[in-house]
Structure 1
C-alpha cells in the first residue's frame, strides 16, 4: 500500500536520503494500517543533541554525536573506531499521515518516531466536469 506511494517518490533520492557527516544512523521504516514508525540507531547520542521536524511530507532528523568527556578525546588513542560529529537523515513520508500528531521516544540508543495515518484520506484535487460545446451550423 504505502510502498506504491514511495515508489513514485524514489527518484534519485529514494525514500530516504542522508547527508555525509561523521556518522550516518541506520534507519528502519515500518508501517501498518494505523501508523508509520521510523526507528533510528543513535547509540551514544545524547537526547538533547537530537532534533526532529516534519515539513511538506519530509521527516528530518539531525544532530551531533559528541565524545562523553573532553579528557577522553584529548588522550592519545591506541585504537579509535568510534565516530563523532554531525548527522542528518531525511525520509520522504507517504501521503495521508497526521504530521501534527507525530510522537517520538528515545530509549537504549534507539529513536522511535510514530506518525499516525489520517482517517478517511480525502484525495487531493477535485473532479473537473466536461461540458459539451455545440459547434455552429455552417450550412
Structure 2
C-alpha cells in the first residue's frame, strides 16, 4: 500500500516537472513585429453617429461602423468611395490600450469616388 502511494506521488510530481516557460504565451505577448495587409474597401457617403471612447461620427466601411481614421484620406460627405488601404498591426491583443485599435489604416489609392444619388420625393403630385 505504501509503495502505491509513492508511485502516485512520483507520477503527480513528474507531471508538474514538464511545465516550462516555453509553454506560455510570453512570445506572443512580447511580439513587437508588425504585419501589413492590403485591402479594398467601400466607404459609404455619410458618417453616422456612433460611440467609441465617447460620442463620435464614424465612417461606414463595407456596411459596418468604422471607428478608426484612414490616414491620408479626406472624406467628403455625399460621395461613395472605393479605397485601397493598408492595414498595419501596431499592437498585440495583450498590449493594445483600452481606447485604441490593434491597427492603423493608411490610404494607398482612391479607386473611385462617386456622388451619391439622392431620391427626391415630392409630396405634391
Normalising by the residue count of structure 1, what TM-score does the alignment of the two structures yield?
A: 0.23
RCO greater where, 1 or 2, for CA within 8 Å and sep 6 or more?
Answer: 1
Normalising by the residue count of structure 2, what TM-score does the alignment of the two structures yield?
A: 0.25
| Structure exhibiting the larger radius of gyration computed from Cα positions | 2
More helix by proportion, 1 or 2?
Answer: 2
